[in-house]
Amino acid sequence: MPSSSSSPQQGPAQGVRPGLRVGRSVPAEQQSFYEAVGGHETFVRLVDAFYEGVAEDPLLRPMYPEEQLDGARERLTLFLEQYWGGPGTYSETRGHPRLRMRHAGFHIGPAARDAWLTHMRAAVDSLELPPLQHEVLWDYLERAAHSLLNTFED
């Protein structure tokens, strides 16, 4: 697996998609991870599967103020699509991702992180991606979840 030293909000490591960062496009001769895994439909499936679990989770569900999770679904889909080389709609509509800042108002301790990872792992597994794509996607999501811890007590 390529080493990944990028931050969870900046884009994957050079070995995954050379030259891609937030706000840049992939050169025409290179296929983005977004395209390689199936584009928009794949990320919608991922996010829908994830929020099916969140909707029933007693620890995570209260963190989402919307009665319906539609807004959260849309934001996560747009963010992941942009991060992996798809349309830049997230930044166009919401500005820089600033993941830590956007999550600072939530109590994210080890239990919340682990619950999030449990639902996200099930969602990633449901995509049945080829092993390398699965590993690259999961590695990023796991690092992102760990980076958002803002308290070490549950």
pLDDT of residue 2 exceeding 70: no
pLDDT band at 154 (very low <50, low <70, confident <90, very high): low
What's 88's DSSP letter?
A: -
Distance (Å, whole) CA 125 – CA 8: 20
Region 87-116 average pLDDT: 83
Q: At the topology level of CATH, where does 33-147 sit?
A: Globin-like (1.10.490)
CB atoms within 10 A of CB 109: 15
pLDDT at residue 36, as a whole number: 98
Band the pLDDT of 95: cuts 50, 70, 90: confident
Euclidean distance between CA atoms 51 and 93, whole angstroms:
22
- pLDDT of residue 12 exceeding 90, the answer is no
pLDDT value, residue 14: 36
Q: What is the pTM of this model?
A: 0.78
Residues making up the binding site? 146
CA atoms within 13 A of residue 135's CA, in its CB half-sphere: 8
Q: Give the Cα separation of 109 and 116 in Å (integer).
A: 11
Query: Residues comprising the binding site for heme?
Result: 146
The count of residues in the chain is: 154
Domain ranges of the chain: 33-147
Runs of H (alpha helix) within the chain: 33-36, 40-55, 70-83, 89-94, 99-103, 110-127, 131-147
Can you tell me the mean pLDDT for 24-34? 74
Q: Which of 69-73, 100-104, 138-142, 148-152 has the highest mean pLDDT?
A: 138-142
Is residue 45 scored above 70 in pLDDT?
yes
